[in-house]
Structure 1
């Protein structure tokens, strides 16, 4: 076999194939989450023990808004994973990206079965004051079009994250993600306390457990790098 034949036989390892692989992985994780969500929700509905959540309910609002909240975390985690040179930061970013993508798929699966749109048509977080529920200390003040829910980064903050490199990137990612988790866990706690749907209660508890552990880790990582939370 001559050199030209060898070159033709070798697989294409050029960087241009990477986005296709990543996109396929994202779709696969979302599909797995959606299948799990639909299976568990359909089983609960078939049992006749739980009514289908309707528009404006805690369950629908949580699934819609937390999906948006999670996807920003996935965006930040993807950037850190691809641009950090710190193995610990890269591993954390991978864990956040994979966990939250699966959870988004699960929530979108619920919404499909409930016959509800993937995104709210009203104001974000209106479900946190529906049915006369107390906001349980959860503040929505200071939210804007750039950061419509607690903990979310603004467009300017995301642009700054993309402009950094080295330890400055690592520290700023940890600061943004820690604040992001703090806002997200507040939303998850509210949904956990006010839902009557088993699947939602299970997922919100999983979010509280996993993000609680990650917040402890991120505080330790910031301290090790001589930095403080935002």
Structure 2
């Protein structure tokens, strides 16, 4: 029996619909619906964007204040990598249909964390006074300040990433969290070595 063009179109549309329903249904049956506004996945994506943004700011500041190549190379790598990851997390929230800013306080998603009203409640965040010191420093002083601040910053980032690895439900968040723990732990070791050499 030869199918008419209209029948082919209906059959193709039906197959596409069944495939779409199967994918959506499979996600829900597997327990992986898109994260909600109050989820650990969304909280991590929002808060880690702000956390990363400060690391980028500090790295750009030291790039203008030192000629020491290993410090410059590290700062450039941190700025480039974390800016790319900011874009990645921004896109996740868009894909999930969620606003970039949540209705709760920062770090609300992280178990046992002392919540505050602003981003300063995030582990490892530098204060405005710390940043001002870095802006005013030059040469070796700027390098030492940057490395000390970034070691604390990375330790806080590792803490946040571990909490996301433990509580997030989406594979992309857990994958990034795992990579952050590995890369930032390695960079902490490298920064401690650089500090000893200064």
- Which TM-score band applies after superposition, normalised by the shorter structure? 0.7 to 0.9
Once residues 141 and 74 of structure 2 are traced to their aligned partners in structure 1, the CA distance between those partners, rounded to angstroms, is 16
List, as ranges, runs of 4+ consecutive aligned residues in structure 1 with deviation greater than 3 Å. Answer: 44-47, 143-146
Partner deviation per Cα, 1:37-61 (whole Å, 9 max, x = no partner): xxxxxxx979634210001100000
Deviation of residue 212 (structure 1)? 0.7
Task: State TM-score, norm by structure 1.
Answer: 0.71
Deviation of residue 82 (structure 1)? 2.4
Aligned to 1:174: 147
Once residues 137 and 53 of structure 2 are traced to their aligned partners in structure 1, the CA distance between those partners, rounded to angstroms, is 21
Aligned to 2:60: 78
Aligned residues: 173
Aligned to 1:191: 164
Partner deviation per Cα, 1:182-228 (whole Å, 9 max, x = no partner): 01110000000112211111100111111010000011111122xxx
Identify the match of residue 53 of structure 1 among 18, 31, 35.
35
**What value does the CA root-mean-square deviation take over the aligned residues?**
1.9
Task: State TM-score, norm by structure 2.
Answer: 0.82
Aligned to 2:86: 104
Partner deviation per Cα, 1:127-177 (whole Å, 9 max, x = no partner): 113xxxxx3xxx537x67472311001111100100000100000000000
Structure 1 alignment gaps of length 5 or more: 1-43, 130-134, 226-230
Once residues 92 and 24 of structure 2 are traced to their aligned partners in structure 1, the CA distance between those partners, rounded to angstroms, is 11
Q: Which has the larger radius of gyration?
A: 2
Matched, 1:140 2:114: yes
Structure 2 alignment gaps of length 5 or more: 1-22
